[in-house]
Amino acid sequence: MGYVRTALLLAALTGLFLAVGWLVGGQNGLVIAFLVALAMNAFAYWNSDRMVLSMYGAREVDAAAAPRLHAIVARLADNAGLPMPKVYVIENAQPNAFATGRDPGHAAVAATTGLLNLLSEEEVAGVMAHELAHVKNRDTLVMTVTATIAGAIGMLANFALFFGASSSSNDGERSHPLGPVAGLLVALLAPLAAAMVQFAISRSREYEADRIGAEICGRPLWLASALARLHRGAERVENRAAEANPATAHLFIVNPLHGRAMDGLFTTHPRMENRIERLRRMAIAMGQAGPWS
C-alpha cells in the first residue's frame, strides 16, 4: 500500500504542476510546463547526489578510514542484495544520516560524526539499514523528482501573478485563463498544495524505509532505539547546513531542522512516537522481546 500511495501522490503532484501550467499560459503553458519538468528532472537525476553531498561537505571513506562504519554497510548491503554503496562521513555534531543516488548502482550513504559518536554499533546498523532501504526502494530518486516538481510549481505560481495581471492579448481575446484575482489565488495556494503532497510522500517513504530497514538488519528495536536517540540529539544540536538548505530536510532519517512545524500535513517526517511504535509491534511479531534488545 505504501507504493500505491506514493504513486498516487506523485500523480497528483504532476497533475497539479500541469494544471498550474495551463492556468498560467493555457495549452501552450501546459506544454511548456511539461517540458520544463522533464528538463529539471533530467538534471536532478544525474546531479542531485553530487550536489547534496557537496552541500554538506561529505567526505568519502573506505575500510581503512572508517572500518566500523564501512563493515556495517557492507554486511547490510549483502543482506539486502544491493551493490556496496559509497560511504561518506559528514563533520557535523548533529546525529543524523541520509542516502542519495539515482539508483542502487550509484548510491551513497552518509552519516554525521555526531551519529557515529552517539550510537552503539547495533544502532548504527539499524540506521544504515534504514538508509539502504531507501536505496532499495529508489526513494532517493522519488524524492528528488518530488522536490523538483514542487519547486517548479512554486516557480510557475510566481509567474501567475504577472500573467494574471495582464487582461488581454492584441486581438482583444484573453491569452490565458487567469485574471488578477485568480492569479493571486494560484500564487498562494498552488505552492501550499504542492508542499502538502511533497510532505505526504516523504512521510510515506519514511515509514516504508523503517519497515524494510528493520527487515534488512533483522532487529527492529535496533532502529527504534537509534531513532529515539537521534530525535533527542537532533533537537539539542543545530545543523547549520540543513537550516540553510531546508529543502533537503526530507533526506535525513530524522528532521534536522529546529524550526519544525506542528506534526501533521506540514512535516517531512512522521511523528517519532508512531515510527517507534510500529517498529516495536514489528519486533513483537518477530518474537523479539525486551525494551531495545
Which residues sit in the known binding site for Zn(2+)? Answer: 130, 134, 206
Residue 131 annotated as catalytic: yes
The residue to which cell 502538502 is assigned: 196
Q: Where are the alpha helices (DSSP H) in the chain?
A: 2-55, 67-80, 113-118, 121-136, 139-165, 180-217, 220-236, 240-244, 272-285
Cell of 91: 563533520
Residue 89 bridge partners (DSSP):
59, 111
From 91, 131, 235, 238, active-site residue: 131
User: How remote is the C-alpha of 272 from its chain's centroid?
Assistant: 16
**C-alpha angle with apex 231: 227 to 236, nearest 5 degrees?**
150
Are 102 and 45 contacting, i.e. CB atoms less than 8 angstroms apart? yes
What is the C-alpha separation between 192 and 175, in angstroms, rounded?
A: 26
Helix (H, G, I), strand (E, B) or coil at 47: helix
> From the annotation, which residues make up the binding site?
130, 134, 206
Q: Which residues lie across from 97 on neighbouring strands? A: 111
Contact 249, 258 (CB under 8 A): no
What DSSP assignment string belongs to 209-250? HHHHHHHHHS-HHHHHHHHHHHHHHHHHS--HHHHH-GGGGG
CA distances from 131 to 99, 110, 160 (A): 5, 9, 38
Task: List, as own/partner pairs, every contact residues 25-29 make where C-beta atoms lie below 8 angstroms and the sequence separation is at least 24, other chains included.
Answer: 25/163, 25/176, 26/175, 26/176, 26/177, 29/176
Q: Which residues are catalytic?
A: 131
